[in-house]
Amino acid sequence: MHVTILLYENMTALDAIGPYEALSHVPGHEVVFVAKQAGPVTVDTGFLQLTATKALSEVERTDVLIIPGGGGSRALMQDEEVLSWVRRIHGGTRYTTSVCTGSLVLAAAGLLEGLEATSHWAYRHLLADYGATPIGERVVFQGKIVTAAGVSAGIDMALTLLARLANEEVAKAVQLAIEYDPQPPFDAGSPEKAGEALVALVRSLE
């Protein structure tokens, strides 16, 4: 299984590293990090660099494409080099996936027209501008296109995907290996649970 994760400036690191961790430890899986140019990419906080080992031009085909989100996705949505690469790679994938606002890149590439999709809760409504129907679910499968909600949802997406790529036993083994038995200290992970005051606070910082 060949998994390709797109890296770009001002992306959100966990969007990529969550799915990477769930998909990379399976025997026979190969994960490649790709960016416009090979080399280090600085994430949205400015505190961290992730290294792309290949340039877009070096990746012609993959089984699973993962587009993470983050503030830099806005620039990607206008970047015809990236969008045409996404369209081309999508033609040969088993699954084309996104985490967080990565779904807006798929949308801008024209891949979500007429489909249901999700994204980070604060940006999900923008999917409608591209002919998609925004859905408030954590992971949305539409044929071979899979979109996940914000940031941490990529872990749930990847484990769900892994059960389809391999089988449930493999997905459960990975869940156990990464000890994914989440126990959030608060129940504030969605706008509905967090309430209006916290939603307004987070929107003011985005």
CA distance 5 to 62: 10
180 binds its own copies (CB under 8 A): yes
- The conformation of residue 129, written as its DSSP 8-state character, comes to G
Strand residue runs (E) in the chain:
2-6, 30-35, 39-42, 49-52, 54-55, 64-67, 95-99, 116-117, 133-134, 139-142, 145-148
The answer to whether residue 100 is catalytic is yes
What are the phi and psi torsion angles at 181 (to 5°)? -125, 65
Identified catalytic residue from 100, 104, 117, 153: 100
150 binds its own copies (CB under 8 A): yes
Among 11, 21, 64, 130, interactor with its own copies by CB under 8 A:
21
Residues that are catalytic: 100
**Where does this chain bind its own copies (CB under 8 A)?**
12-14, 17-18, 20-21, 24-25, 27, 30-33, 40, 45, 47-51, 53, 100, 120-121, 138-139, 149-153, 155-156, 159-160, 163, 168-169, 171-173, 175-186, 188-191, 193-194, 198-199, 201-202, 205-206
